[in-house]
Amino acid sequence: MARLLISKNNGAQLIGLMLLIGLTVSGCNLNIAKEIRRHTYPPEFNYTTEKELKTTMWQLAAQVKKLEEVMQNPNVNGDLRRREAMQILTEMEQISKALGMEGWPGNHPKVSRNITKFRSDLVAARRALETNPPVYYLAGTISGACSHCHGAS
Ligand code: HEC
């Protein structure tokens, strides 16, 4: 590896590699993989590893379950239900950021194709709760938003 560096005679690259090596030693393997991808793919490309995608999906699934509980639990009603549901929807929007930016290509075409629709549904459900009186219908059927990617089509 050292010979390769010298032959290229590129100081910036040398520093970059030394940094990568340093990071390896400190055990930040995930960051390195990301760092390398940042250089191999154009910056507007959303690269999501299989593992990141799955982790994100399970996080979303956990929130959907939580939201369904909030919507169905008769003890969580009125403004408490509204506030809890809004918080969960905001959290889901936050989690969905790991799926990349809207309208930009990525390595999961299904995700890039539908992520904007998914986020719009989350936002619509949250906004409906902000109206006076709040509208709960969209929050209560949020799993419908998952079907942009998980539906029959
Ligand atoms: C923008 C697209 C998209 C949306 C929206 C989406 N998913 Fe996924 N999901 C995927 C892809 C891609 C996979 C990978 C496997 C596949 O193609 O089905 C996946 C896989 C999963 C998995 C399996 C993960 C594993 O370990 O294999 C679960 C669970 C899941 N999604 C739940 C959800 C839930 C719940 C929602 C709604 C809150 C949701 N997904 C919304 C694209 C999406």
**Model confidence, pTM:** 0.78
User: 88 and 66 in contact (C-beta within 8 Å)?
Assistant: yes
Give the range among 12-16, 24-28, 56-60, 132-136 with minimum mean pLDDT: 24-28
Specify the DSSP class assigned to residue 137: H
Ligand 1: residue of 108, 150, 153 to mutate (most ligand atoms within 8 A of CB) is 150
Confidence of residue 2 (pLDDT cuts 50, 70, 90): very low
> Whose Cα sits closest to atom 15 in ligand 1?
54
Q: How many residues does the chain have?
A: 153
pLDDT digits (tens, 9 = 90+) for 56-107: 999 999 999 999 999 999 999 999 999 999 999 999 999 999 998 776 788 8
Q: Is 28 helix (H, G, I), strand (E, B) or coil?
A: coil
> Whose Cα sits closest to atom 18 in ligand 1?
150
Written as one string, the DSSP assignment of 37-50 is HHHHS-TT-B---H
pLDDT digits (tens, 9 = 90+) for 111-144: 999 999 999 999 999 999 999 999 999 999 999 9
pLDDT at 107 (0 to 100): 87
- Expressed in angstroms and rounded, the spacing between residue 57 Cα and the centre of ligand 1 is 5
In the predicted model, what is the mean pLDDT of residues 13-32? 51
Helix/strand/coil (H, E, C) string of 77-110?
CHHHHHHHHHHHHHHHHHHHHHHCCCCCCECCHH
- Expressed in angstroms and rounded, the spacing between residue 96 Cα and the centre of ligand 1 is 11
**Ligand 1: residues whose CB is within 6 Å?**
53-54, 57-58, 60-61, 64, 99, 108, 110-111, 114-115, 118, 145-146, 148-150
Spatial distance between the Cα atoms of 35 and 17, rounded to a whole number of angstroms:
11
User: 122 and 36 in contact (C-beta within 8 Å)?
Assistant: no
